[in-house]
Structure 1
Amino acid sequence: MKKILIITYYWPPSGGGGVMRWLKMSKYLPEQGWQPIIYTPENPDASVNDESLLQEIHPNTTVLKYPIWEPYDIYRFLTGKKKDTKFKAGYVSEASSGNWKSKLSVFIRGNFLIPDPRMFWIRPSIKYLSKYLNENDIDAIVSTGPPHSMHLIALGLKKRFPDIKWIADFRDPWTDIDFYSKLRLTKWADKKHRKLEKKVLTKADSVITVSPGCARDISKIANRKIEIVNNGYDPADFEFAEDKLDKEFTISHFGAFNKDRNPVHLWSILQKLAEEDNSFKANLKIQLIGQTDNTILESIRNCNLYDNVCIIEHLPHKKGLSLLKSSQVLLLPLNNAPNVMGILPGKMYEYLALKRPILAIGPTIADYAKIISETQSGSCHNFNDKTGMEKTIRDYYELFKKNALRVNSNSFQEYSRKNLAKKIIDIATK
């Protein structure tokens, strides 16, 4: 077997969206004749844990772990948080508008922890992996970010081992990411971020990302072709024992639900319908699975819908999917941020495979909307399209009452993780 070294901060037992891309991709690499060698922290400061994901690791996988020091305890001390506090998705956006201690911590994060708080792992990792590469044959290296410190580890290795092909995987942008403008950067720090980003983009043998929009944005910085390898779904996760729908009109969201994704107009529409129709109020269930920002819960509370909310902070991944499979509607709100046109949430592909109606909220000309339209898997509405959202909710509810709420999703099989793993190998062997 050929061997591919994958440098990733996110790996089981850590949970969440950042884990899935390379956990699932690596699962199907051995079928292509490639053995995955995972390099990951021994003691990451994970926002969530999911022990069930350990069972997803292919038996042919070698996992290398090395200790990491991260300054999050200092952040907890500065902001008065408890030592065991977990950081939710979007914490930078929340902290940037908080009290002076939170704003100071964001300033330190942006200007001194470049490119991110995992920067202290870069040099030790280069030293550790250089020894490993000297003693073992590796055919390709993948670095996946964020955190973009993973790319700087690979950059250091590329200088020492120029003949090994390096693929830099941008799951999210670097300087174009939605919270970059909230980092309170000095001109010096902004320049350094951009210089490091440009170096990674130009020194890597191949650069891949998750959507056409992201590829266009990154190519403007790198002045080179950017390959697209979408996120996807694992067919093995969708072998459910039964296909029984909820009796309630369940609108479910799965995964991190941060402040920038808060669909405030949706909550007001649901409030309006609940006030018009007592049966709608009685049937409505808003199911939130995963870390949910307090601003979203506050918006729901302000619309007198809190009694309709079911909050499940975390579930094993497959258990979460089984709950979604029983849901009437799957909610897909996108980040209301400058880079939204290229955002393709990882959960979207799993929504497609669940074959339940999707209610997506974001620009209707963005990359995600094209996929939902092509697969006939649901409806898309602009952030402020209250009229369209209300019509869709009314239509979905009428179909629900007739036990006829279905979608005829199709043509989504190209996003199978098995097919995407083959695409990675095609890039690695070019």
Structure 2
Amino acid sequence: MKIIMISPYFPPDKSVASIRMGSLYKYLVSKGHTVYVITNYKNIDDMEHVSFVREKQSNSVLNKLSSFRENRLSYYNVLSEVMKKFDCDIILISGGPFYTFNLTEYIKKMGKLSVLDFRDPWVFDIRGLKDLLSFKRIIARCIQLPYERNAIKYSTGVVSVSPGWINKFKLFYPFQKNKFKLIENGYNDSTNLNRNIGKTNIDFQIGIFGKLFYYSEKYSNIFLQALKENQQIKVLQIGNREENTDELLDKYDLSHDTIISTGFIDYEDGLKALMSSKFLLLIDNRKDAIGTKIYDYIFLNKPIIYIGPSKTYLAKMISSFQNGFSCASKIEILEAIKKIMNNNITNLDNNINVYQYGRSCRNQEYEKYLERIIKNEKW
């Protein structure tokens, strides 16, 4: 296959957003496919086929639509030039950001196939009732909806990472429901990490990879209420400390060193650091979200405590493991912690095959999916 991959975030970007396409790129090239990458400007000197776009950024709500259009035009211009010299079979577009997604109309006019990869939802990314009813977010959704509809209309296929999101897409786009395909995320199984390192040297009771309080104000407060009851608990956050962390700790009279934040560190170093935790934590209130950290947790095979509504996809997924705990209240959190500590539980599940959750399996699935689209076969 000859593939153009449009991915604003791409290695060596140090972000979760770049991992999915970076991993897929390496896999496809290793299988003999030719991949041409179009991405935001960065220092890459070891790739043969790559073109860069200078992204315009804006934090102003008033200027976001303008920068969206400018970035879309910039990618259109670069894609036009690339297509003149690189005769591809299919074009794969990853987001967010989503300003590249409307290139599907141009791609279709040029007689080419396109696939949209929704690593995150665009218009219907709803994080609780407060977010749903936010006037600012309602206006933003109304503005963005025509762009999303147009992007999906002209695409050949649409991929997303969560069964719930796939079902939601099919509900919102019933006349195009055959376009949607589930290809989940996974942990980076190219790492050489020994999962047994640190298991006998537990320094922290709780470990979390990435954002701690970002996804739910309500359940973040419930978690801190539990910490207030058991002030012996220490939390290790792999990532940057959120701005409201110390303020929230003060609210519950908790010491600031209750939560130790490492700042940004590389993926493999982050996993090694998590080894020093007795169990792992997720706080999220989104109904259909999965995220990537759950796969890293499964790879480490440590007990997981999820804090959020009981009917989310994450709650069901985590509860399916022997030592996965879904908690929606302070009492449930304290009971889960007590059970793990008193029984010295060290594994998420004794029978789990962690390797089926790796990115290698997902990349193989993606390769077959793209090949079937090119051959006009059902997937």
Normalising by structure 1, report the TM-score.
0.76
Q: Indicate the residue corresponding to 1:429 in structure 2.
A: 371
Q: Indicate the residue corresponding to 2:295 in structure 1.
A: 349
2:49 to 57, 62, 78: 62
1:212 to 163, 166, 177: 163
Q: Where in structure 2 are the equivalents of 1:368-383 lying within 5 Å? A: 368-376=314-322, 378-382=324-328
8 Å contact 1:359–1:379 — kept in the other structure? yes
Q: Where in structure 2 are the equivalents of 1:132-211 lying within 5 Å? A: 132-152=82-102, 154-162=103-111, 164-178=112-126, 182=134, 184=136, 190-211=141-162
Task: Note the residue ranges of structure 2 that are not aligned, 5 or more in a row.
Answer: 373-379
Cα deviation, residue 326, structure 1: 2.6
1:406 to 329, 347, 350: 347
The code of the aligned residue for 1:367 comes to Y
Separation (CA, whole Å) in 2 of partners of 1:37 and 1:380: 43
Cα deviation, residue 13, structure 1: 3.1
SS in 2 for 1:236: coil
8 Å contact 1:198–1:221 — kept in the other structure? no
Cα deviation, residue 258, structure 1: 4.6
CA distance 1:294–1:399, shift in 2 (3 Å): farther
Moved over 6 A (4+): none
The code of the aligned residue for 2:198 comes to K
The code of the aligned residue for 2:147 comes to L
CA distance 1:261–1:379, shift in 2 (3 Å): same
Q: Indicate the residue corresponding to 1:416 in structure 2.
A: 358
CA distance 1:242–1:375, shift in 2 (3 Å): closer
CA RMSD, Structure 1 to Structure 2 (Å): 2.6
Q: Indicate the residue corresponding to 2:377 in structure 1.
A: none
8 Å contact 1:70–1:120 — kept in the other structure? no
8 Å contact 2:6–2:93 — kept in the other structure? yes
Q: Could you tell which deviates more after superposition, 166-175 or 117-126? A: 117-126
1:311 to 242, 254, 261: 261
CA distance 1:24–1:196, shift in 2 (3 Å): same
8 Å contact 2:132–2:138 — kept in the other structure? no
Separation (CA, whole Å) in 1 of partners of 2:195 and 2:348: 20
Q: Where in structure 2 are the equivalents of 1:220-239 lying within 5 Å? A: 220-223=171-174, 224-225=177-178, 226-239=180-193
Deviations 1:251-284 (CA, angstroms, capped at 9, x unpaired): 111113353335211221122123xxxxxx2xx3
8 Å contact 2:10–2:22 — kept in the other structure? yes
* Identical columns (%): 22
Normalising by structure 2, report the TM-score.
0.86
Deviations 1:326-382 (CA, angstroms, capped at 9, x unpaired): 321111111x3xxx1210011110110011111111233322233323444521223
Count, aligned residues: 360
Task: Note the residue ranges of structure 1 that are not aligned, 5 or more in a row.
Answer: 44-50, 76-104, 275-280
Cα deviation, residue 316, structure 1: 1.3
Separation (CA, whole Å) in 1 of partners of 2:20 and 2:323: 22
Separation (CA, whole Å) in 1 of partners of 2:269 and 2:206: 17
Cα deviation, residue 391, structure 1: 0.3
SS in 1 for 2:234: strand
8 Å contact 1:211–1:230 — kept in the other structure? yes
Deviations 1:371-399 (CA, angstroms, capped at 9, x unpaired): 323444521223xx222111001112223
CA distance 1:190–1:379, shift in 2 (3 Å): closer
8 Å contact 2:9–2:39 — kept in the other structure? yes
* 2:25 maps to 1:26: yes
Q: Indicate the residue corresponding to 2:376 in structure 1.
A: none
